[in-house]
Amino acid sequence: MSVKHAISRGLELGRSVFQLGLLKSGVRVAAKLRAERFRVGPSVRGAQPRAFLPSRYRYYRTSLRGLAAQLQSAGFRRGLTGGSPRNRAVFLAFGLGVGLIEQQLEDDRRSAATCQEIQAVFRKKGFQSPLKPISSGYKLEDYIIGNQIGKGSNAAVYEAAAQFAPPTENVRKCSLVQLKEDEEEGEKPRSLTCCSLRNFPLAIKMMWNFGASSSSEAILKSMSQELVPAGPLALKQEKERISLDGEFGVLPRRVSAHPNVIRVHQAFTADVPLLPGAQEEYPDVLPARLNPAGLGNNRTLFLVMKNYPCTLRQYLEVSTPGRRQGSLMVLQLLEGVDHLCRQGIAHRDLKSDNVLLEFDSDDRPRLVITDFGCCLAQSDCSLQLPFNSIWVNRGGNASLMAPEVATALPGSGVVIDYSKADAWAVGAISYEIFGQRNPFYRAVGLESRSYRESQLPALPSAVPADVQSVIRLLLRRNPSQRPSARVAANMLHLSLWGRKALANQDSAGMRKLVDWLLCQSAVVLLKGCGGPSGNGVEAELQRSFLANLDLEDLRTAVGFLLYGREQHQACITSA
């Protein structure tokens, strides 16, 4: 649009504003203009947060539609204050601004359309689990069960192999203890990928059944949260017809496959067996037929999953990731949490013990969120839990409970919003990933109920400034000033792969960012056709980023990044 055309268009609109202003109040005129003249499609959710980003980043915290409305209202108010030359000049500038903002709106439409097209391409491709669906294996007898590999407060996990796929013999398995001994002796620790899982590629989780009876229906209803990450063929068809009421009285949602979320391949009920270590590790939960003093029921739920070498906590005990590797690990947790939030799931017990870890072909850690026994999985996807009684379960680990959850007081009409609670937990776990103690474990002393943001310990100087900014934002007490997992993930994506696209960003710079997105899409698609590299951690992350593109989320992430870099530079200058 030429400047001459913009001025003429603006003057025409300005005259109509003046004429309408003689008859209607300024508020109604502004509302009419916003609603009729500058409608740009369905309303979008407001960018967040608005509270603490300075005004110079207003482009990144409000949509162009909002800017147009602000400009119109300001111009209208000034235009009616008198007929002096100064006011006429202001009114002319208003007309020019409106004309130019229309061009920006058109650019905004094109950028949004491009993001939607990219999103459609990568969502169509989806994520395929590396394990093929098992068409059989709905009985405990179908599996060879090995040693115990984990135990929690409500289940024990054993390594396993399917009877129809017997284990390979003479395969050596190294342990985390061996890795730690090598490290203490000064040797470079071996990668956990050397630990062969060919003997037992599966893991079976045996739930402990205290409260439910021994009927399959009662077991599935009382433990339905464990089935949230279950695949479409996890239950036998006749079991799928059972109404799984669950803890919250609704049918729990099923989360679709994602590289950073565990997948339950098979789920069935069976009699509790006497497995290795049962009498020593958990005698009280055994049924009376196996232990006369046991309190458990005869039958329980079994879940079949992929076997992973270790948990995130175990890995971090023997290894400290580098700056890029650590950034990728935090990013994977954010992608997993965002995937859950988009499908109406709040994990509510996120900690390093509930994150499994394996390695891709490039020896990069791949993180997988597991253990959904405490999750909130309501059918309305609201991620809001009515908190009208002290008996309502807030979630799992109290140490990593977000402030808005930990400080909630029960009462009539009180609701706990979990939409950003898991993202807060990722911020706390990030300290562990970068080699420090989690500041919210009791040994360190901070409590999520009462901490001040100034009390958060400093991260190591080797941690990239953008990553430090993301972690600090995630640990903001006020959830309205905390980015969502999607926005925080976008910040890390842009920091890792889009630094050049962010150079010299201004209100018109989003076009450069969209151009970069198109190039990035082509690169990722070519990698996907290029063999093993397309199945690596970085390729998976890039596909996840492109499959969830949203212009408003992207714009908010850019604003956060620029603000964080400015703050970091100010700290360096003052030091």
* Residues known to be catalytic: 349
Phi, psi of 529 (to 5 degrees): -95, 0
Closest Cα partner for 497 from 463, 429, 543, 443?
A: 543
User: Distance between CA 107 and CA 102 in Å, rounded?
Assistant: 9
The beta strands (E) that lie in 316-469 are given as 355-359, 365-369, 384-386, 415-417
User: Distance between CA 517 and CA 504 in Å, rounded?
Assistant: 17
Residue whose entry in the numeric block shows the structure tokens 């439409």: 109
Judge whether 231 and 263 are in contact, CB under 8 Å: yes
Closest Cα partner for 416 from 399, 440, 392, 446?
A: 392
249: left (phi over 0), alpha (psi -120 to 50) or beta: left
User: Distance between CA 292 and CA 342 in Å, rounded?
Assistant: 47
3 state DSSP class of 272: coil
| H or E segment to which residue 267 belongs | strand 264-271
Cross-strand bridge partners of residue 304: 204, 266
| Angle made by CA atoms 43, 92, 508, in degrees to the nearest 5 | 45
CA-atom Rg of the chain in angstroms:
28
Strands 355-359 and 310-311: antiparallel
**Residue 109 CB neighbour total at 10 angstroms:** 14
3 state DSSP class of 41: coil
Judge whether 433 and 330 are in contact, CB under 8 Å: yes
Closest Cα partner for 371 from 175, 150, 544?
A: 150
User: Distance between CA 562 and CA 503 in Å, rounded?
Assistant: 10
* CA–CA distances in Å: residue 37 to residues 8, 126, 278: 16, 39, 72
| H or E segment to which residue 103 belongs | helix 85-125
User: Distance between CA 164 and CA 166 in Å, rounded?
Assistant: 6
3 state DSSP class of 244: coil
Residue whose entry in the numeric block shows the structure tokens 């601004």: 97
Judge whether 283 and 294 are in contact, CB under 8 Å: yes
User: Distance between CA 434 and CA 312 in Å, rounded?
Assistant: 12
Sheet-wide strand order for 299-306: 143-151, 155-162, 202-207, 299-306, 264-271
Closest Cα partner for 269 from 139, 180, 164, 157?
A: 139
| H or E segment to which residue 158 belongs | strand 155-162
| H or E segment to which residue 206 belongs | strand 202-207
